[in-house]
Chains A and B, each alone.
Chain A
Amino acid sequence: MPVVDATEALGRTVTNVTEAWGRSWIFLGKTLAGLISPPFRYRLFLDQLYQIGVKSTLVVALIGIFTGAVLAVQGVYTLSKFGASAFTGSAVALSLIRELGPVLTALMVIGRAGSAITAEIGIMKITEQLDALRSMAVDPMRYLMAPRLLAGIIAMPLLTGIFITIGIFGGFIVGVGLLGLSSGTFFSDMVAAVDNVDVYSGFIKSVAFGFIFGWVSCYKGYTCGFGAVGVNRATTESVVTASVAVLVLDYFLTSILTRVFM
Chain B
Amino acid sequence: MICVRNVSKRFGKQVVLSGVSLNIEDGKTTTIVGPSGVGKSVLLKLIMGILAPDQGEIEIFGENITRADSEAERNRIRASLGVLFQSAALFDSLTVYENVAFALNQRFSLPRKEVHERVVSMLSALSLESFAFRYPQEISIGIRKRVGMARALITQPKVVLFDEPNTGLDPLVGQEVYDLIKECRKKWGFTGVVISHELPEVFQVSDRVAMILQGKIIEEGTPAEFAASANPAVQQFLNGRIDGPIKIQ
Contact = CB atoms under 8 A, between A and B. Distances in A.
Interface of A: 30, 123-124, 127-129, 131-139, 141
29 contacts: A123-B92, A124-B91, A127-B87, A127-B92, A128-B85, A128-B87, A128-B89, A129-B92, A131-B45, A131-B48, A131-B50, A132-B83, A132-B85, A132-B89, A133-B91, A134-B48, A134-B49, A134-B50, A134-B78, A135-B78, A135-B81, A135-B83, A135-B85, A136-B103, A137-B75, A137-B78, A137-B106, A138-B106, A138-B107
A135 B91 contact: no
Contacts of A132: 83, 85, 89-91
Provide the main secondary structure of the chain A interface.
helix
Nearest to A126: B87
B71 interface: yes
B79 interface: yes
Contacts of A129: 89-92
B61 interface: no
B85 A136 contact: no
A30 B89 CA distance: 24
Contacts of A133: 91
| Residues of B in contact with A, size category | 20 to 34
Nearest to A143: B106
Nearest to B45: A131
A124 B94 CA distance: 12
Given A129-B92, A131-B89, A136 B71 contact: no
Contacts of B78: 134-137
Contacts of A134: 48-50, 71, 75, 78
Contact of A137 (B45, B87, B107): B107
Nearest to A139: B71
- Most B CB within 10 A of own CB, among A123, A129, A133, A138: A129
Interface in B7-31: none
B226 interface: no
A131 B106 contact: no
Given A134-B49, A136-B83, A138-B107, 17 more contacts: A30-B71, A127-B87, A128-B85, A128-B87, A128-B89, A129-B89, A131-B48, A131-B85, A131-B89, A132-B83, A132-B91, A134-B50, A135-B78, A135-B85, A137-B76, A137-B106, A139-B71
Contacts of B90: 129, 132
B102 interface: yes
A136 B106 contact: yes
Interface in B114-172: none
A135 B78 CA distance: 6
Nearest to B163: A128
